[in-house]
Amino acid sequence: MVKILFFIFVFTLPAAVFSQHHQEPESGYYALVAGGSKGIGYAIAEALARRDLNLILIARNTDTLLAAKNRLESLYPIKVETLSYDLSREESATEIARWCTERNIKLKMLCNVAGLGGAEDYLSLSLDSLRYMVRLNVESCMALSLTLLPLLEKHAPSYILNVASMAGFAPIPEKNLYSATKSAVIFFSYSLYYQLKEKNISVSCLNPGPVFTKPSIVKETRQKLGWIGMKMAVAPNKVGEIAVQQTLNGKLIIVPGTGAKLMSIALRALPRRVAVMIYNRVGKKKS
């Protein structure tokens, strides 16, 4: 009996602690998706559209933005605004927040999706490319969360969804800078979850394994991770749906797919020195 009660306590407590919001948002509200014109960002935008949320999509390329807007508005009864910004620029977060405030946008959710990986990493990067990756992957997410906080607070209960990566769970020598930027997003999200709890703003962090949003990711996954990586891959639309569903349920750390989930549990349980050694060996073998 004591054993049964112990199991019930252990397995239900985290769900109770991490699920403060259960309701789906009403229509008339907006979600802002930074990096929402394609890939995982577009899939997240579509999952939000299915729930009748109006959208503000941000990306650099105006043609891709417009195509996403047309597709979403033709499929769902929502309004889609598009803003062309380079999120790595220092001024972007302030200008985006000003645009939203001036229009009195009823902001329910901020999704920080835009990010950059790529085949090149720390030792072969120019200083400009290094700064671009840090600004886009880390600074833009932290800055937008801060500049849009007053609007999210005004329309609470509300949500922040940051997109990190499974690469942020342990250091990867071959992808040093990428995994470092993504671990910064994970740490930031963990703390922000508690900082914003009293304001009734829920913070989630999506950590996908491979998601085939472009051919280069398929090639890299096959080369570096072999069949395990191919098995771990989850389709972009599935990732978007899981991310939105679990964000609305108040889940802090989201890992889509059973394979990726198991891998992420192992990565987080291993001592860092062991995880980094394994990643280093695997990287050397495959290169």
Ligand X SMILES: NC(=O)c1ccc[n+]([C@@H]2O[C@H](COP(=O)([O-])OP(=O)(O)OC[C@H]3O[C@@H](n4cnc5c(N)ncnc54)[C@H](OP(=O)(O)O)[C@@H]3O)[C@@H](O)[C@H]2O)c1
Contact residues toward ligand X (CB under 6 A) are 35-41, 59-61, 64, 85-88, 113-115, 117, 136, 163, 165, 208, 210-211, 213-214, 217
Chain centroid to CA 263: 18
Give one DSSP letter per residue of the chain, joined into a string. Answer: -HHHHHHHHHHHHHHHHH----PPPPTT-EEEEET-SSHHHHHHHHHHHTTT-EEEEEES-HHHHHHHHHHHHHHSS--EEEEE--TTSTTHHHHHHHHHHHTT--EEEEEE------S--GGG--HHHHHHHHIIIIIHHHHHHHHTHHHHHHT-SEEEEEE--GGGSS--GGGHHHHHHHHHHHHHHHHHHHHTGGGTEEEEEE--S---SSHHHHHHHHHHHHHHHHHH---HHHHHHHHHHHHHTT-SEE--SHHHHHHHHHHHHS-HHHHHHHHHHHHHHH-
Q: Which residues are catalytic?
A: 178
Residue 206 CB, shortest distance to ligand X, in Å, is: 8
Indicate the residue among 218 and 278 with the shorter CB distance to ligand X: 218
Residues 109 and 132: their CA atoms lie apart, in Å, by 25
Residue 256 CB, shortest distance to ligand X, in Å, is: 10
Indicate the residue among 136 and 201 with the shorter CB distance to ligand X: 136
**Alpha carbon separation from 94 to 89, 110, 112, 117, 201 (Å, rounded):** 10, 14, 15, 25, 20
Indicate the residue among 155 and 181 with the shorter CB distance to ligand X: 181
Residue 33 CB, shortest distance to ligand X, in Å, is: 8
Q: Do 165 and 182 touch, CB atoms closer than 8 A?
A: yes
Residue 120 CB, shortest distance to ligand X, in Å, is: 14
Longest dimension (CA), the chain: 63
Residue 41 CB, shortest distance to ligand X, in Å, is: 5
Residue 110 CB, shortest distance to ligand X, in Å, is: 14
